[in-house]
Each structure stands twice: as structure tokens, then as C-alpha cells.
Structure 1
Amino acid sequence: MDEARPLWATPLQFVFACISYAVGLGNVWRFPYLCQMYGGGSFLVPYLIMLTVEGMPLLYLELAVGQRMRQGSIGAWRTINPYLSGVGVASVVVSFFLSMYYNVINAWAFWYLFHSFQDPLPWSVCPLNGNRTGYDEECEKASSTQYFWYRKTLNISPSIQESGAVQWEPALCLILAWLLVYLCILRGTESTGKVVYFTALLPYCVLIIYLVRGLTLHGATNGLAYMFTPKMEQLANPKAWINAATQIFFSLGLGFGSLIAFASYNEPSNNCQKHAVIVSIINSSTSIFASVVTFSIYGFKATFNYESCLNKVILLLTNSFDLEDGFLTVSNLEEVKSYLASAYPSKYSEVFPQIKNCSLESELETAVQGTGLAFIVYTEAIKNMEVSQLWSVLYFFMLLMLGIGSMLGNTAAILTPLTDSKVISSYLPKEAISGLVCLVSCAIGLVFTVEAGNYWFDIFNDYAATLPLLLIVLVEAAAVCYLYGLRRFESDLKAMTGHALNWYWKAMWGGVSPLLIISLFVFYLSDYVITGTLQYQAWDASQVCKNTQPRSWAVSFSTWAAVKRVRFHPELPGGLCPLRPLRQGQARLEGMAPEELGGAGTGVYTGVARTEPGTERGTQEAGLHLLTQQRAAHQCFNNLDSRITAPGLRVSLGCPCTDTLIKKIYFLRKVIQLTNLDFFPCG
């Protein structure tokens, strides 16, 4: 043990450092999404159970290892067993991967924060087109908030292959974010210990302010009712339990080595068991609290959109049937619609396609997570608030503090093992090592500021740390319990803290928690294999969903599927489509006419689709995706000239209308196994 090792000034600094690290963006933008997806209040049941049997025990394990060994991840695991040095190295590598892209979120928060002082907010209105005769076409097809995110912030390219140039404004924000991180970690625990008071407490102040404001917004109760109304049938959904376990695992930041690094600066007698319980409970409570805030604002947004939709329908019917102003209201809308349909059937049939289906429930069911929630949905709600600039500044400042707090822990996971190394520290002072790590991470992070950078961000965010972290924590638990020895570790803890391990911690470390990690590992591994090709969401100015594959080296588990399907993202109309492949040979068509496949105007398609404004969302059924396009698909079906004689033969699509409806599409009257077919688009 190094007697000169720096220590936290007080145990409270250590607790705040752990809270600042654990309570991050996932608490704000992922947990509310999971509540929305898996039954509202009923999701709390698997979530709290997983906290008890997985999150809290593993958090205590890492804190105890760091405090006992008093070294970073590499040195701590080398002390336990020389063959376990690789576990610490793996933690450092994963933390370095995370540092490369995670700070980009802080750069985006800086970008939005700087623009929050404008009046009006730049994402509240669409810009004019080139000749200033109307609004920009891309913005009109999407929305002003989507346009500002994808075009002004990211200037996103149509695909990952079109890298584009570095966007200098986000790049400058990234440099600023790394400069801020460097200043916070410059003096080690001395500087970090002071910063964490701010990064840990300020987000709660903003959340409380937002809660008070959110509860006073029109429609907030609709969102809260949706959140707290349990759907108990979701308890039988295995994905609800898997996602609860995953959320607990990654929210606490297990496996990165950050918690081990923080605990290594504790006094040996520190009660890390008590602190593990406190941090776990505060982290989960923050997730629930943030969900209340999110759903109150989400209810306001959903109600606003619902009432705006109704007002558009009222205006349309009033103008179409020359009704008196004020005659048609929300309360009598359905009654008047029924009367108009029966009294003026021909005229109503002409107007009917323009009448939108307004539903508050569908607005509330629109599930969004990640950057879509933080930079699109929230900004959509903020722009409709009074004094929107104030709420925007508070919100993005809170995001920045959450992101910086997580980065402090992430950089500690890298720097602590490096500064513990006598080989490196003998040549470079601590400040130089910190600066070098920040400089290298910032330089590599510029990749995420090119036009295709957001695609790489999504790939790294989804795949860079998932499986490695599960494997790291599994080895950690096995190493402590079966290599170092649970009894030996128990005696070490008793000698340090004066508290013996009870049966709960022993049972969790020795069996329950590792089994849960193995289950998660098998699930994610099988999901990669079964799902097939790993893909990403692509945005295109013309609203085209592109089925583009990521670079082969970006992920490890990638299989090719012969048939792809496109599923439309509900919250991003027409523009952004998550693409999920089918297994080879899964899709077949049993020689049915369009009318038999779901009514007039319905066609079955695979491949790449283009959607027009107003197009209904597709649904997936028996491996086929059905797209409604109001008679266009039916006409296209009749005009189609498909010539197929054997598997592997090239198919020519002689349909003049498919180029504006669907590329790489075919409709087959015969039973066809979709294998080894080459497609040629119309025209």
C-alpha cells in the first residue's frame, strides 16, 4: 500500500463522487422510456428486484475491492491474482472507448445551451427556403426540432459510408467539453472532490424546478396517469425483466473500474457497505423522480399535439363545409363528423383522406429514448413553454452537469491505473498524464463530429461496452468468491470496517448475481446472432429509409440475412427508420391479391421504402411488412412485371410508379422462397 496515496477530504466527497458518476443521462433519458415500454408503474417491480439481487451487491463488491486493494482496476486485480491483470486492462480499454464518444453528448449539450439564449429558440421555427418563398422542404416534412437536430447540429449524411467533413461548431464544443473535464481532474481528488458537490447536487435542483413547472403545465396529469397506471401483464414479459437488469447494471456504471478507482482513495476503515446501499438507493430514486418530471412534461407535449391535431380537423371541416366559426368544438366534433358523413357523403369522402386521426393515447404511447428524447422530444416541449429560453438553459445545463459527472468517473477509471504505474508516473507527472489522456480522447472523438459521426456514435453506444462489461463483472465476482476466496475476503472486510458479511451479500456474490450476469450475457449474445446484421438508423433529407450496413470491423457478431424489413419509428415521421433484418428464407407470400393482404391499397414489400407525409405506420406480420399508400400500391401491383424462374435469377421490376413509392420492391402472386435474388429498381 502506498502511504502517500491521496485521500478524499471527507467520506461525503466520496459519496458525492459515486452519485455524480452513477446518476447520469441514462436516468433521465432511458429509464422513463423503459417505464413507458413495459407497463408504467409495473416496471418498478422487476426494477427494484434487480436492484436488490444485482445492482447493490455488485456495487458493494467493486467498492470493497477498491478500498481493500487501494489501487486502480489493473493493480487491484493483479493483487488478487496475477493472472487477473487482464480484467483491469479490459476495464481501462472499455472506459477509453466510452470516453471517446460519451463527451460528444456534452458537446451537443454545450451547443444547445449556447443557442438557448436566442429569441425565438432556433429549433422553434423552420428556416425559410433559398428563395424565401416558404419554409425549408426538409423541415416541413419532419419538424423544426428534428431539423435543428439532424441538419443544423449534426448536418447528418445519408449513410455511414459518406463520412463528410468535420463540423467545426460541434468540434469546438467537443474541445470545450474536454477542456472542462481536464480542469475538473487536474489536481486529482483535490479538484474532483470539490467539483462533485456541484455536479451531484445541481441536477437535483433543476429537476425539482422542472417538477414544479411540469405539474402546472396543461396535460401534465395525463402523462403522470399514464406512468403510474400499471399494466400487470407486462410482469410476464421476459424483456421487462431483462431490461430492468440491464438498466440497473449500466446505470450504476459497473465494470468500468471507476468505482474501484474512487474507493481506492478511501480510508481503509471507511464503511463502504453503507455507502454502496446509499448510492444504489439514491441512483434508483433519481431514476423514478426523473421519470415523474419527464412524464409530466411528456403529458404536456402529448396533450398539446393532440389538441393541435383536433384544431386542424375543426378548421378543415369548418372551411370545407362552410360552417359558422365556433360552431364546431372539441366536445361535439365526433357528433358533427357523423352528421356530415351521412348528410353529405360524396363531399365528406373527398375531405376524409385529409382528416387526421387524433388520439391522446397514441401520443402518450410514442416511446422515445436516448438523444431522441433529450434533443428532440424535450426541445419540442420546451419551445411551447412560456419563457422558453429560461427552461432551455436550465435543461441543457443540467444535461451538461450529468454528463460531466459521469466523465469524471470515466476518466478516473483510466487515470488511476496509469498514475499507479511506477513506470509511467516516473516519467510523467499526474497533470501531464491527465492532459495526454484528454488530448488523445478528444482527437479521436472528432470522428463523431463528422457528418456521419452520429451513426458511429450509435454503433459505439450500442455495441462497444455491452458484452465486455458483462464479462468483466462476471469474472470480478468469480475472482473474489472462488480465486481470492469469499472467506478470506470476508475477513479482510471485517478487519477494515469491523463489519462481517451477512448471508445476503454472500448469497448474492456467490450465486445469484453471477447467474443473472450469465443470463444477460447469453441474451445479448443470442440477440446479436438471431437478429442478424447489426444496423443503424439513417436520416435522409428526402425521407428515405436506407438499409445500410455498418463497417464490418465495428462490431464482432455480424451475420448476413437475405431478407430485410423496415419498421417505422413512431416518433420520427418518415425520416428515421430502425432497420431490423429477418432470418434468411423467413418471408413468403402465398399468392394473395392486395385486397386479401389487409384491404385496398395495401401491398407487401421488402427492401427499402420511401414514405410520404401522412403515410400510416407499417405493421409487421408473419415476417412481412405491410405499407398503406392509398391506392398507389394497388396500382403498382397491377402494373408490375416480375419474371422469376429459379433461385438466383435476377428480377426486373417493370413498374414505373415504384421509383416514387418503394425501391427494390416486388409483389409476388406465387409462393417464393426469398433466397439469392438480385434486385434492380424500376426505371
Structure 2
Amino acid sequence: MAEVRSSTETRETWTSNRGFIFAAIGSAVGLGNIWRFPGVAYESGGGAFLIPYLIALVTAGIPILFLDYSIGHRFRGSAPLSFRRMWRKSEALGWFQTALLFVISVYYAVIIAWSLSYFYFSFGNKWGDDPATFFTEDYLHAADPGVSSELVAGVAWPLVGVWVAIIAILALGIAKGIEKVNVIGLPLLVLGFSALVIRALTLPGASDGLNALFTPDWGALTDLNVWIAAYSQIFFSMSIAFGIMISYASFQRRKANMTSSGLVVGFANSSFEILAGIGVFSTLGFFAHEQGVTFDNLDGLTGPTLSFITFPAVISEMPGSAIFGALFFGSLAIAGFTSLISLVIGVSVAVQEKFGLSKEVAAVAVGIVAAAVSFGLFATTTGLVALDTVDQFANNIGIVVSAIAMCVIVVWIARTIDPLRRHLNMVSTFHVGKWWIPVIGVYAPIFLTVMLVQKVHDLIVNGYEGYPAWYIGVFGWGTIAFTIVFTAVFTLIGWGGRDDPDFRAWPDLDSPSTERRTEPKGANR
């Protein structure tokens, strides 16, 4: 089928390749880099974990990132529109990914609100001598698993600010809003967190923390769970396979170096994770030193417990604690906010294209609905448990299912993997060889299926965190049911917007002159 460039495209674009790279890194570098990677590495072999981690980056993270880039850049739309243009019947996958973006964004915003609150609490160590009680009882007023309509004022007020800022940034658009925030926010994040790491390295006991993180347990490499943990971390930290990078790539200029940008994003994300590991474990080493215990006796090394209970306890022990606390929670808020932007823009652009709305109207509509859900479910006294449960199912089941479906559809059903590879090679300096096809079509879906089966079996047999079965059914499996219903409804709704029947992808893959011009002699094909 001959393809020619559409002459009617008026899509917004990033002002520069730098703007795109900053936004993509801002999306990838999020809360999981700071509060998940260090703990996962420590529990999965320490320094030895870096081997499966780097293998996962090269064999799954970057290849699937390239896949997202190729779909978005070639078909010039959000996930639903890009998949529809690639193969009409695959539009449903795009809406499944959009549903996941919506679900994750409504609780992700709440964690940013917590971070903003704790940024303020840092000046005076408001959490006192018992950070655990302060976080769960005094701040969140956390109740047992259930459904509550009682808003927590300390969460609700900063959450208002988060959603107002998100709506305003999305309404400004790609160049004036999202790009500018990331170009400013990402350097601030790196500078602030680097200052935190430098300070942490000077603390007594820091070397004990680093030894705990990086001392290799080579026996862990024979444990399948360690490899699954490595692939999970790469997968969840790079914002791949659930629509974000498809949308971001669709705003890249036609002539853009996509694969080189992908390499920068992938290795920048992993570099920040390692930096975060150094900073977090140096600090925890100091904490163990001050408590007079060995590092192995510390608890709460991942997730919200690390950030909002363990770290405040550490900060209270430190000289200059207010500055250290402000740096940590400020970094957490910036990392979360740049990622939240990418989550919501994926939903907003999909709605904008489906219904033919302006970017301003779509931003307001999506922002108001998402904010309402965010307040109603996660800013209440039962919000902590709801957030934990929804996050578990959305990430460990929803995103993995999305990735498996995307790989299978692109390679085995729509059979568009080689045209996508050729597209990347025509616009990029780093050329993707045919090795990419079996990686996407065989290796990735097999390994991801193993991950999925293991997680589903564990949740069915063991439940989750001891929560009641009815609660897991409503907020856990109910999250997956919601994404399926969301997918069906939006797929069945007719297109009133940007489904241009005359759209033709560019470059023209069937033109020998085009291929000769864009793929130099000797390129790796």
C-alpha cells in the first residue's frame, strides 16, 4: 500500500528535540525511581541485581520504548487514534491504555499532594517523634478498608492545587505548557536531588547503606523472582506500553531522531534510579548508625512507608533537617508532577481527538472528572488503602496485559512490526536491526506472560496485604473491570473528531528513492 504524507496536518509539536527528551525523561522519572528501585534492588541481590536490571533495560525497556515511539510518530495520534490508524480493530487497545492512564492519574495526584504537605511539614519537623502515627492517624486519619466520604482536609487542599495546575498546563498545550514545565522542572529535580545525595554521602554510616545496596548476592541470579523484579522495575519506571510515549512521540516533528532520543531517555531514567539508590541508602545507613542497629534490622524500605514514615524519622535525626527534608519532598513532588502531566495528557488528547474538542475544553473536562474521582476515592479517610490496592492491580495486571496485547497485535495480528522498524530507521541515526522483531514478538510477551501468571496466581491464592476479599474484589479486580468497561464504551462511540480518513503515514515506505535517501548504505537492517 502506497503511503504519502498528509498535507493537512496541523498537529502541535515540541519546539525542539531537547523539549521532547526533557518531557519523556520527566515522564519516566517519577515516584517509583525514588521509593521503589532502591528497596527492590536491596531485596533482590544488591549489586548483583544490576545485571538482570541492565539486561531488562536492553531487552525489554528500550525495545518497547522504541515500539511506542514508532507507533506514535508514524500514526500521529493518541494511543486510540494511532492504533486505529495502524489497524482499525486495534483501537480498543488504545482505549484500554487510556483507561489505565486515567486510573493511575487519579491516585498519583494524591501522592503529590502528600509530598507537598510534607515539604511544608519539613520546616519544623511537624511529624514529631512518631512519624508512623503522624502519617496514618494525625495526617491521613486512616481508617480500615472500606468506603468513606469523609475528606481529609490536609490532603484535599494541596490536591486542589495539583489539579488546578495540571488543567492549566494542559490547556496551554505542548510547547507553552508541558515542554516549559519539564525544561524547568527536570533540571531543578536533578540539582535538588543531587544536593541531597551529596549531603547524604557525608553522613556517618552512609557507607554501611551503600554496602547494603551494592554488595552482590550472586546466588540471587538463579532466582526467577529476581529477574521478574528487574523486568517489573524497568517496565513500570519507563512509562512504556500504556499510551504515554505514543502520545508524546506523536507530537515530535516529522524529521526527528527517534531512536537516539529513546536511548537517551532509557539510560537517563536508569541513571536517576541508581542516583536515587545512592541517596536513599546513604541516608538509611546514617539512620541505622544513629539507632545503633545493623542495616538488616531496618523496616520500610519501599513505597509510601519509605517516603512518609522512614524518611521523616531519618530527617529528624539529621543536622540541618529542614533543608534535607525540603530537598527530599520537593524532589518527590517535582518527579511526581512531571509524571502526572504525562498521564493526564494521554487521556486528554485521546478525548480531544475522539470528540473533536479544543485542547482547552478537553483539558478542563478530563481534569474535572479526574479530580472528582481523585477526591472521592483517595482524599478520604480510606484513601490510603484504596490507593495501595488500585495501584497494585493497575500496575501489576493492567499494564502488563496492555504490553502483552500490544506486542502480539503489532507483530502477529496487524503484522506492522517491520514497517514500524523501517520507519524508525528512516528518521533516525541509530538503526534498529531485525533482532527487534523477535524481541517484541516472542521474548517480551513470553516473559511478560510469566510475570502476569505469577502475579494473578499470587493475588488469587494469597489475596493482598490481608485486606478483606470483598474489598479486593471491589477495588482490586474492580479496577480491571472498570478498564474493560471504559474500553468497550469508548471504542463503540463514533468518532466526531480527528479520525481523518485521508490520513497517510510518512515517510512513504514503498518508495525506493525514500529508502535509499534515508537509510545509508551499510545501515543495520
TM-score, with normalisation over the residues of structure 2? Answer: 0.86
Residues 155, 451 of structure 1: 8 Å contact kept:
yes
How far residue 107 of structure 1 moved from its aligned partner, in angstroms, is 0.7
Tell me, yes or no, if structure 1 residue 527 matches structure 2 residue 448. no
Amino acid at match of 1:502: G
Query: Could you report, residue by residue, the CA deviation over 1:498-540 in whole angstroms, capped at 9, with x for unpaired residues?
Result: 7653133233123222222222222222222332x34457xxx
Residue 445 of structure 2 aligns to a residue whose secondary structure is: helix
Residues 66, 262 of structure 1: 8 Å contact kept:
yes
Q: CA–CA distance in 1 between the matches of 2:465 and 2:315?
A: 32
Tell me, yes or no, if structure 1 residue 475 matches structure 2 residue 405. yes
Q: Which runs of 5+ in 2 are unaligned?
A: 1-5, 480-525
How far residue 479 of structure 1 moved from its aligned partner, in angstroms, is 2.4
Aligned with residue 79 of structure 1, among 68, 81, 85 = 85
Tell me, yes or no, if structure 1 residue 220 matches structure 2 residue 206. yes
Aligned with residue 47 of structure 2, among 41, 51, 59 = 41
Query: Could you report, residue by residue, the CA deviation over 1:365-412 in whole angstroms, capped at 9, with x for unpaired residues?
Result: x35211000111111111111121111112111111001010111012
Tell me, yes or no, if structure 1 residue 424 matches structure 2 residue 359. no
How far residue 481 of structure 1 moved from its aligned partner, in angstroms, is 2.0
Q: CA–CA distance in 2 between the matches of 1:170 and 1:256?
A: 28
Tell me, yes or no, if structure 1 residue 372 matches structure 2 residue 376. no
Equivalent in the alignment of 2:494: none
Q: CA–CA distance in 1 between the matches of 2:259 and 2:108?
A: 29
Q: 1:86 to 1:548 in 2, by over 3 A?
A: closer
Equivalent in the alignment of 2:341: 408
More strand by percentage: 1
More helix by percentage: 2
Q: 1:527 to 1:10 in 2, by over 3 A?
A: same
Q: CA–CA distance in 2 between the matches of 1:259 and 1:203?
A: 21
Aligned with residue 415 of structure 2, among 458, 470, 484 = 484
Q: CA–CA distance in 2 between the matches of 1:188 and 1:213?
A: 37
Tell me, yes or no, if structure 1 residue 160 matches structure 2 residue 141. no
Residue 377 of structure 1 aligns to a residue whose secondary structure is: helix
Task: Give the fraction of aligned pairs with identical amino acids, expressed as a percent.
Answer: 26
Number of aligned residues: 470
Q: CA–CA distance in 1 between the matches of 2:431 and 2:335?
A: 35
Q: CA–CA distance in 2 between the matches of 1:170 and 1:490?
A: 46
Residues 214, 293 of structure 1: 8 Å contact kept:
yes
Equivalent in the alignment of 1:433: 362
Tell me, yes or no, if structure 1 residue 109 matches structure 2 residue 115. yes
Aligned with residue 11 of structure 2, among 1, 5, 13 = 5
How far residue 265 of structure 1 moved from its aligned partner, in angstroms, is 0.6
Equivalent in the alignment of 2:135: 149
Equivalent in the alignment of 2:499: none
How far residue 39 of structure 1 moved from its aligned partner, in angstroms, is 1.8
Of the structure 1 ranges 289-298 and 514-523, higher mean CA displacement relative to structure 2 is found in 514-523
Query: Could you report, residue by residue, the CA deviation over 1:581-608 in whole angstroms, capped at 9, with x for unpaired residues?
Result: xxxxxxxxxxxxxxxxxxxxxxxxxxxx
Query: Could you report, residue by residue, the CA deviation over 1:265-316 in whole angstroms, capped at 9, with x for unpaired residues?
Result: 111221111111111111111111110111100100011111xxxxxxxxxx
Amino acid at match of 2:401: L
Aligned with residue 502 of structure 1, among 433, 436, 443 = 433
Alignment of 1:442-457 (within 5 A): 442-446=371-375, 447-457=377-387
Residues 25, 399 of structure 1: 8 Å contact kept:
yes
Equivalent in the alignment of 1:173: 158
Instruction: Please list every run of at least 4 consecutive aligned residues from structure 1 whose deviation after the TM superposition is greater than 6 angstroms.
Output: none
Equivalent in the alignment of 2:222: 236
Q: CA–CA distance in 2 between the matches of 1:468 and 1:115?
A: 35
Higher relative contact order (CA 8 A, sep 6+): 2
Q: 1:214 to 1:264 in 2, by over 3 A?
A: same
Q: CA–CA distance in 2 between the matches of 1:162 and 1:258?
A: 31
Residues 535, 549 of structure 1: 8 Å contact kept:
no
Tell me, yes or no, if structure 1 residue 518 matches structure 2 residue 449. yes
Q: Find the structure with the greater CA-based Rg.
A: 1
Equivalent in the alignment of 1:186: 171
Alignment of 1:113-152 (within 5 A): 113-117=119-123, 119=124, 121-125=125-129, 144-152=130-138
Q: CA–CA distance in 2 between the matches of 1:231 and 1:490?
A: 38
Residue 380 of structure 1 aligns to a residue whose secondary structure is: helix
Q: 1:505 to 1:373 in 2, by over 3 A?
A: same
Residues 268, 497 of structure 1: 8 Å contact kept:
no
Query: Could you report, residue by residue, the CA deviation over 1:127-185 in whole angstroms, capped at 9, with x for unpaired residues?
Result: xxxxxxxxxxxxxxxxx11121011210111x123636111221111111111222222
Q: 1:382 to 1:498 in 2, by over 3 A?
A: closer
Amino acid at match of 1:61: L
Q: CA–CA distance in 2 between the matches of 1:151 and 1:179?
A: 27
Equivalent in the alignment of 1:555: 476
Q: CA–CA distance in 2 between the matches of 1:177 and 1:392?
A: 20
Tell me, yes or no, if structure 1 residue 272 matches structure 2 residue 238. no
Equivalent in the alignment of 2:297: 363
Q: 1:162 to 1:444 in 2, by over 3 A?
A: closer
TM-score, with normalisation over the residues of structure 1? Answer: 0.66
Q: 1:94 to 1:557 in 2, by over 3 A?
A: closer
Equivalent in the alignment of 2:36: 30
Please provide the CA RMSD for this pair.
1.9
How far residue 361 of structure 1 moved from its aligned partner, in angstroms, is 4.2
Of the structure 1 ranges 409-418 and 84-93, higher mean CA displacement relative to structure 2 is found in 409-418
